[in-house]
Structure 1
């Protein structure tokens, strides 16, 4: 982030106060920050706040030219190495998507060649409105990158998606975007990823499943796209949107996931299996709802196919990465799983720790490779961890490619 020239655009939402926190964090991280405020944003935060935090002037009027030798909005557009819009209201997104340039911010955005990062914040019903969805899609198709809002209690009183990402998360997102990791280390590689839970049906209304949300797998899929890979994501049922550019294959049961993974396995260079696949399924699926009855209910179960072990037994040029979700003796069980299933790398974590793991946005893991090397990765956002996992997997992939070339000499 050091020396990065960033234009921070602030629009008129109640989350504008978080933009001030982000401005401070960007400045502390070494970035040069210029702020552009819309008129409505000044109803929530004053320009003086941003001027004090960034030690630079605040732009809020297209027609105010402090330096008559320059046209301000063109000068700022040319200066910028990145634009970050925090918060981005539905009104701003609509204007930007439709090429309207009626204030300093929209005029400057239409003039810049710098990458643009937009962090939406609005009421959940506004975020789901067809017009907003269409505008978001329009901007994505033009190459605008969105920093996804969170879900939770909103200022308007509704609960749902639309809460601005926290300043720390935005900073981490930008850091990963600007870092050396963005070198296309997986360019030309086919990456196959599994994510989420599976469901094993008991009757028409019940199924057996687990707590996996798919967050880790989806984060890895996005990071792999960023690093230049062609990504196929085989996902169980989750409440997540597939990253742009990913080929998504939705499945429900362990058997369906097995079939799709094996179908795409031969073409893959790197396979990362984050999915929490059911180990057992009912031997019989009832045609009608099982009625409540006196006493206990016994369901006979049978083993599902072991996808990871099958991949390990059949790999030839692929690098295979597995996950181990444990509640005790994490390192011991992970090493045993790596050996037994012929993995090249295993990512292990303690899911009994409620601050990390399944529902959490963060994780703390051990990375154990086929040579027995152990790397401890401190607690961090899953989006950041995804790059760390791929860095290690990419190294193994380069080693495997070298081995294959040597064997053909």
Structure 2
């Protein structure tokens, strides 16, 4: 079963468990997105303290943000609720991170120059630099965003240690179209989760293959399989969260690319091989999750094959496809130890026996087995990691959870090389 992008929602319920986020809102129409962002952060396990500027209150009410966060909203540096009357100190010391979303051009200039004339800017200036990171989600008109002063400000804020997130492109409230939109709440959530993820693969170039291949019989028919690509897409996301530069080569699936991952779409096994071979020469890790067809029709028909009334099916002859994993794993780069290859085996029975056999046949340092009929098209899976030392079973869990565990296992094995 192939799944539409909107239905691909890996579980992230506990991704931010134990994290306390100060969500700052400066003035801008994008404040409406901050309401959903607040809710998403809480669903991911974080606690959220909202701080709003006077300008932000022109776009969304403190009552709304209090209802969503479950905490009183702070709007003034003169707030007398803290016993010491120092909300800017107390709030910043309690935070694991401060996220300003939206960040207006005006508030960005305040941060750049160290101005502190309201609670939110005071708090940003007073935060402990070594322990409370500042993340910024800009939102402004396309001309404001492109202005040289704005771009200089971004560069200086980054040099000062702030983490400037990207912007979206599209239709803006002013009626114009271009760069400068605040990222969507789910994108900001993904960025925040990635920010807190240990960077086990920093400096690595990870290549992932995912999904099925499609082998044409004629222009309207073909041979494929039930792989949805969800496991491979989760692996690509987990690798990116762990700090790697990630390229995902995907067969025909209906999934949205993970944020921050370079995606290349292919169709047949030959297409996938042609895309992967040059990329493998620039990669340090190759994770072959794709369910590649072993066979293809030797001579696909140029036109649709029609029934002739004889009751006999068409006679098809097949050719064997090149074994992509074995080709890359036995290439000079992998043999020299510069490319760590991980294979996947989708079996229907005798998982350990078949996985061990495939490990030897493919000559890879790590083979990941799963029972295909139990996982195709689903959001959960169970994995068996097999190497020369033995095997490790990962019990059934969301595919993203398993992918993150797999990435840690790969990083640990590479560290021992």
> Which of 246, 249, 252 does residue 267 from structure 2 map onto?
252
After superposition, the C-alpha distances for 1:132-186 in whole angstroms (9 at most, x for unaligned) are: 997897545xxxx95369xxxxxxxxxxxxxxxxxxxx7x99777535xx1x322
Mapped partners of 2:290, 2:270: distance in 1? 13
1:8-407 matches, within 5 Å, as: 19=39, 22=42, 25-26=45-46, 33-35=48-50, 47=66, 51=70, 56-59=71-74, 65-67=79-81, 76=91, 80-82=95-97, 96=102, 99=105, 108=120, 112=124, 114-115=134-135, 130-131=171-172, 138-139=181-182, 147=186, 178-179=196-197, 182=198, 184-294=199-309, 295=311, 296-314=313-331, 315-316=334-335, 317=337, 318-353=339-374, 357-372=375-390, 374-400=391-417
Q: Aligned pairs, how many?
A: 337
Q: Give the TM-score taking structure 2 as reference length.
A: 0.65
Query: Does structure 2 conserve the Cα–Cα contact (< 8 Å) formed by 1:8 and 1:84?
Result: yes
Deviations 1:79-122 (A, max 9, x none): 5323579xxxxxxx8xx376588xxxxx959975533699xxxx
Q: Alpha-carbon deviation of 1:249? A: 2.6
- Deviation readout 1:337-364 (Å, 9 max, x if unpaired): 11111111111111222xxx23222222
Rate the CA distance shift 1:46–1:35 in 2: closer, same or farther, 3 A: closer
Structure 2 runs not aligned, ≥5 long: 1-15, 26-30, 108-118, 125-132, 139-167
Compared CA separation, residues 190 and 178, structure 1 to 2 (3 A): closer
CA shift, 1:78, in A, is 7.2
Deviation at 1:21, TM superposition (A): 10
Equivalents in 2 of 1:24, 1:230: separation in Å?
Answer: 25
| Counterpart secondary structure, 1:324 | strand
Q: Is the 8 A contact 1:225 1:246 kept in 2?
A: yes
Q: Could you tell me how far apart the structure 2 residues matched to 1:99 and 1:57 are?
A: 26
Q: Deviations over 1:243-269 (max 9, x none)?
A: 344333322111121122222223322
CA distance in 2, matches of 1:309, 1:277: 12
Q: Give TM-score scaled by structure 1 length.
A: 0.66
1:233-287, CA deviations, whole angstroms, 9 ceiling, x for partnerless residues?
2222222333344333322111121122222223322111011111111111211
CA deviation after TM superposition for structure 1 residue 196, in Å: 1.7
The superposition leaves residues 357-397 of structure 1 with CA deviations (integer Å, 9 ceiling, x where unpaired) of 2322222211112222x111122222222221111112222
Q: Residues 348 and 228 of structure 1: is their aligned pair in 2 closer, same or farther, counting only changes over 3 Å? A: same
Please report the RMSD computed on the Cα atoms of aligned residues, expressed in angstroms: 4.4
CA distance in structure 1 between the aligned counterparts of 2:36 and 2:245, rounded to whole angstroms: 37
Q: Tell me, in whole angstroms, the C-alpha distance in 2 between the residues paired with 1:109 and 1:337.
A: 58
* Cα separation, 1, equivalents of 2:44 and 2:340: 42
Distance 1:195 1:134, change over 3 A: farther
Q: Distance in 2 between matches of 1:110 and 1:380?
A: 43
